[in-house]
Amino acid sequence: MTIGAATHVLIDEFTHAGRFGATHIAALAASYPSPLGGVWEGCRWAQYLGGALGLIALAWVAGRSQVTAVPSDPPPLARWLPWTAVAAGLSGAAIAIALDGGPSIGPRAAVFFALTGGIAASAAAVAGLAVVHRLRRKPPLQPRSSTASPNS
């Protein structure tokens, strides 16, 4: 996780306006036509293309992964996790939009706050359930010693 966080921060230095890449590399500072009309800075193109390449890499890895059999009776966490994550995500999205000003913030800001608030709330719920699952898990039984006690 540390490597992922570090590379994310490093990549952000090249894909956000006003940061190192956009201020020191001409290609990232230049403007190019956008497929949505208008122009985008090179750093914005780098951000979107990097995200697309990341999704392609994830799809490739997922396609090459081995499929394992699902247990016939999954643990309770496996049954509750997807529903909890979705409920937390929707709640987080609604709360984030409400805290930022409600429907008057405009569609672009609403999508941003819905995604960021929803993802954060969903991740927090999943992490919380993982902690609860770990704390409730019974420790493995320790084998008894085969030596006789001194009192016998």
Whether pLDDT at 53 is above 60: yes
Beta bridge partners of 18: none
Mean pLDDT of 118-143: 83
Domain boundaries, the chain: 8-57, 74-138
Percent share of the chain, pLDDT over 70:
88
The predicted pLDDT at position 123 comes to 92
Phi, psi of 4 (to 5 degrees): -65, -45
Percentage of the residues of the chain whose pLDDT score is greater than 90:
26
What are φ and ψ of residue 19, in 5° steps? Answer: -95, 180
CA–CA separation, 48 and 57 (whole Å): 14
What's the CA gap between 25 and 129, in Å, rounded? 44
- Higher-pLDDT residue of 94, 151: 94
What six digits make up the tokens of 55?
């999704």
What band does 137 get if pLDDT is binned at 50, 70 and 90? confident
Residue 48 CB coordination number (10 Å): 13
Residue 25: per-residue pLDDT: 92
The DSSP secondary-structure symbol of 33 reads E
What's the count of helices (H) and strands (E) in the chain, helices before strands?
6, 2
Q: What is the pLDDT, as a whole number, of residue 94? A: 92
